[in-house]
Amino acid sequence: MSDAFNAEVKQILDALGVKSVNSGATTGGSNGWLKTKGKELVSYSPINGKPIARVSMAEKKDYDEVMEKAQAAFKTFRMMPAPRRGEVVREIGNALRANKKALGALIALEVGKIRAEGEGEVQEMIDIADFATGLSRQLYGLTMHSERPEHRMYEQWHPLGIVGLITAFNFPVAPWSWNSLIASVCGDAILFKPSSKVPLTSIAVQNILAPVVDKYGVEGVFNMIIGSRDDVGEPMLHDKRIPLISATGSTAMGKHVGEVVGGRLGRSLLELGGNNAIIVTEDADMDMALRATLFGAVGTAGQRCTSTRRIIIHASVKEFFVNNLVRAYKQVKVGNPLDNDTLMGPLIDEGAVLAMEKALNAVKSSGGKVIYGGDRVSVEGCEGGHYVRPAVAEVKNDFPIVRSETFAPILYIIEYNSFDQALELHNDVPQGLSSAIFTTTLQYQERFLSHRGSDCGIANVNIGTSGAEIGGAFGGEKETGGGRESGSDAWKGYMRRQTNTINWGKKLPLAQGIEFNIG
């Protein structure tokens, strides 16, 4: 395994231009890499715990240099017509198409996702590039009638500035595209700080888009910097030159971001924790519900913010559902995510495994029951990896551990008797990201989607909680942060709105009929 693994690692890295030791900062383009000399950051593969490559992290002086170039680039880039900016993004999308398999394999290698999910994340980037390209010709304002004669009023949208982007390990590149590609067609520059757990995928993306940056002369627009919290993270939050910080991560992290950025009256776009539930009614299509539950709970080893955490199921069908679910869980092959027949890869690191074990112990101590899984799995040839069996546990919704998010493949089964009770259980958690119901009853469906139903930012009927499409705005309520990225009118978050009134007459009437005469 070792020789074959090393050969595959080299093939993937070579295809994407990732070196054994990489710079931790770039202003984009082939000549934009800084000669960083900070502490060495090692990227370990969760497949077997082995190092893949290293990054020389950026220091505070590197951060200052990147910010200066980003400021200068923004002043030029904002003057480029939006459709021309859309052309830049279109070519980035084409570059991603050409590198889809290699980048998807690197995601599997560095994050532990199976190949299909890694390539799916790259496809999401390609889709958002297409979306943003079309959006570049649709940055519409409004016109409205003035109450004053011979006046014209309208709204227009201007580029905002430098967008600071902080992402999590589980989706190392898709949120980059949601923010960077839409922000760039809006005329903004981007300063991207990826998770230090998965630095190589972001380096690969910078290599992929470098020829496009060179072709259009937009160095300083797509910036990336890998560094410590003290050298990079905190300076970003406090930097008044960055009007918007978009951050993906835990609720605790989001609260800190919101407090610091809000303290300087900046904007924050927060995509935080989820505690996503599926309500399964007594008349649900059980086959569909089981399939959606399996993917939602097991996909990415339960390390999605939209992973299915809770099944709220009618008492009359609980036994049938759970028995069939456990039967399906037993067929899930846990193993090397680079193998095509693997359905669930490893957790990201040992800390994630320990968090899962701690959560299951809390379930037991609270009076719950682990029905299946939760134990560590030994995978031949992948010694040193972080493999577990996905777990199913029967619990009460008010258990403290159930009300918090554990980033691991743990699925909680919660019984209900009336639909009012199901809705109450569903909403009675601090988080509010994604939700779903499986039912064939119109009244259940419509109540779930009404203002009295799901309190989440995403509410689905007869599909699961994960796998959101890029055309809709993505985000959630309550402790999920309230942010919206990707589709719909999320682009407005990356621009500043301006209301304009033009007096084309010869008089100066005031609004609301006020008269202010002198003499």
pTM: 0.96
Instruction: Give the phi and the psi of residue 342 in degrees, each rounded to 5.
Output: -80, 135
8 A C-beta contact, residue 422 and residue 279:
yes
Q: What is the DSSP letter of 58?
A: B
Q: HEC profile for 313-381? A: EEHHHHHHHHHHHHHHHCCCCECCCCCCCCCECCCCCHHHHHHHHHHHHHHHHCCCEEEECCCECCCCC
Neighbours of 35 (CB within 10 A): 8
Q: Which positions are annotated as active-site residues?
A: 271, 305
Task: Give pLDDT tens digits along the chain (519 positions).
Answer: 578 889 999 999 999 999 999 999 999 999 999 999 999 999 999 999 999 999 999 999 999 999 999 999 999 999 999 999 999 999 999 999 999 999 999 999 999 999 999 999 999 999 999 999 999 999 999 999 999 999 999 999 999 999 999 999 999 999 999 999 999 999 999 999 999 999 999 999 999 999 999 999 999 999 999 999 999 999 999 999 999 999 999 999 999 999 999 999 999 999 999 999 999 999 999 999 999 999 999 999 999 999 999 999 999 999 999 999 999 999 999 999 999 999 999 999 999 999 999 999 999 999 999 999 999 999 999 999 999 999 999 999 999 999 999 999 999 999 999 999 999 999 999 999 999 999 999 999 999 999 999 999 999 999 999 988 899 999 999 999 999 999 999 999 999 999 999 999 999 998 888 888 776
Mind listing the domains of the chain with CATH numbers? Answer: 2-272+481-497 (3.40.605.10), 276-473 (3.40.309.10)
Neighbours of 109 (CB within 10 A): 26
Quote the CA–CA distance of 389 and 409 in Å, as a whole number.
Answer: 8
Counting beta carbons within 10 angstroms of the beta carbon of residue 377, is it exposed (0 to 12), middle (13 to 18) or buried (19 or more)? middle
Residue 468's pLDDT is: 81
Residue 246's nearest CA partner among 483, 431, 495, 489 is 483
DSSP three-state, residue 188: coil
Residue 353's nearest CA partner among 311, 389, 395 is 389
* Angle, CA 484 vertex, CA 481 and CA 486 arms, to 5°: 145
Counting beta carbons within 10 angstroms of the beta carbon of residue 142, is it exposed (0 to 12), middle (13 to 18) or buried (19 or more)? exposed
Provide CB contacts within 8 A for 302, sequence distance 6+: 390, 407, 408, 409, 410
Counting beta carbons within 10 angstroms of the beta carbon of residue 403, is it exposed (0 to 12), middle (13 to 18) or buried (19 or more)? middle
Quote the CA–CA distance of 59 and 499 in Å, as a whole number.
Answer: 41
Quote the CA–CA distance of 419 and 425 in Å, as a whole number.
Answer: 10
Quote the CA–CA distance of 490 and 483 in Å, as a whole number.
Answer: 9
Q: Which helix (H) or strand (E) holds 56?
A: strand 51-56
Alpha helices, H only, 99-250 = 100-111, 115-135, 174-185, 199-216, 234-238
Residue 518's pLDDT is: 75
Neighbours of 488 (CB within 10 A): 12
Angle between helices 100-111 and 2-16 (to 10 degrees): 130
Residue 271's nearest CA partner among 436, 489, 434 is 434
Instruction: Give the phi and the psi of residue 279 in degrees, each rounded to 5.
Output: -90, 125
8 A C-beta contact, residue 262 and residue 270:
no
